[in-house]
Amino acid sequence: MKLFLKNHAVLIFLFLFQGGFVFFYYWFAGMQTFTHLFYILGVQLLALALYLSYKWYEEHRVYQWIGSDQKDTEIPFLGTSEFCSELYEKHMELSRLHHRKIHDMESKLEDRVTYMNQWVHQVKTPLSVINLIIQEEDEPVFKQIKKEVQQIEYGLETLLYSSRLDLFERDFKIEAVSLDELLNSLIQRYKRYFIQHRVYPNKQVPAEDAVIYSDRKWLRFSTGQVITNAVKYSSGRSERIDLTIFRKGERIILEIKDYGIGIPSQDVKRVFEPYYTGENGRRFQESTGIGLYLVKEIAEKLNHDVSIDSEEGKETTVQFSFLTKM
């Protein structure tokens, strides 16, 4: 009602102004009988009230819809007046155009992701061949080649998951995941990385297997990102990272702790922002600022919590927190 009155405020003002003008005109013209003057004003006010009542009857659904908290794009029946019909048709036209644009964007995004997947797999093939050729070689130059190939593989994996993130809803499967088995698979996957940096995992798990519900593939990738970061920034300062699983109330915690360079206090709050590299990234020039951003995004999409705490020059702790029930 408030919006309706505001929309007709000019009309109401003009009616009142006209009524006042007529009243004073007849008053100064000598017709000073209050009965006649109030009769004229009453007729005008009645006409205004009838008009506003009619417009409210015709258009009240429009104002109720505008003032509602409805968030979807569907529009209810707004009335039979010409204004309501035109508004409804215009809205439906814009809605169809909006859905068509969204569909086109999703199709283009899907095509881009498909192309990216094919490109990554095409690049992985020659990398696998290179690994086969040099796997038996022990000369320093071949060790350096292995290291660079490994970096390319990790970069391609990050690129692949980054491109798939926008289509996450089409590419995930919630199932029971054993965190102990997950850590074992990651330790096996990154064993060459551990040896290369001379930083080794110290796994501490409870006697009872900790099982959570998540998407194994996405969780494996995000946990792997944190582990490789822990190893990279511990190299030369510490020979171990701690991988710990424990229960905290109704949640299961996976904690990854390193004893490396730590993160400056001013950077801790921003490490999950996209492309933010911080002071460490500028010092080591190996950070893209995308890894921890993906970790945070994936955790939110999987309904997990992830947090980070660090003391510069001493340690960094990342915790994944999982619900024990779906």
* pLDDT tens figures, 168-218: 877 788 899 999 999 999 999 998 889 888 999 999 988 787 899 999 999
pLDDT for 37 equals 67
243 vs 161: which has the higher pLDDT: 243
Residue 274 has pLDDT above 70, yes or no: yes
Backbone angles phi, psi at 65, to 5 degrees: -65, -45
Which CA distances in Å does 46 have to 2, 22, 23, 41? 20, 15, 16, 8
Tell me the C-alpha distance between 324 and 321, whole Å: 10
Phi-psi region of 261 (alpha: psi -120 to 50; beta: other; left: phi over 0): alpha
Tell me the C-alpha distance between 76 and 70, whole Å: 10
The CATH classification of domain 175-321, taken from the options 3.30.1330.60, 3.40.50.10320, 3.30.565.10, 3.40.50.970: 3.30.565.10
What are the domain boundaries of the chain?
A: 175-321
- What integer best gives the mean pLDDT of the chain? 82
Residue 61 has pLDDT above 80, yes or no: no
From the centroid of its chain, how far is CA 38? 64
Residue 3 has pLDDT above 70, yes or no: no
Q: At what angle do helices 140-164 and 216-232 cross, to 10 degrees?
A: 140
What is the Cα Rg of the chain in Å? 34
- Kindly report the pTM of this predicted structure: 0.65
Q: At what angle do helices 34-67 and 9-28 cross, to 10 degrees?
A: 180
231 vs 68: which has the higher pLDDT: 231
Under 8 Å between Cβ of 136 and 85:
no
Per-residue pLDDT of 10-41, as tens digits, reads 777 777 777 777 777 766 766 666 676 677 77
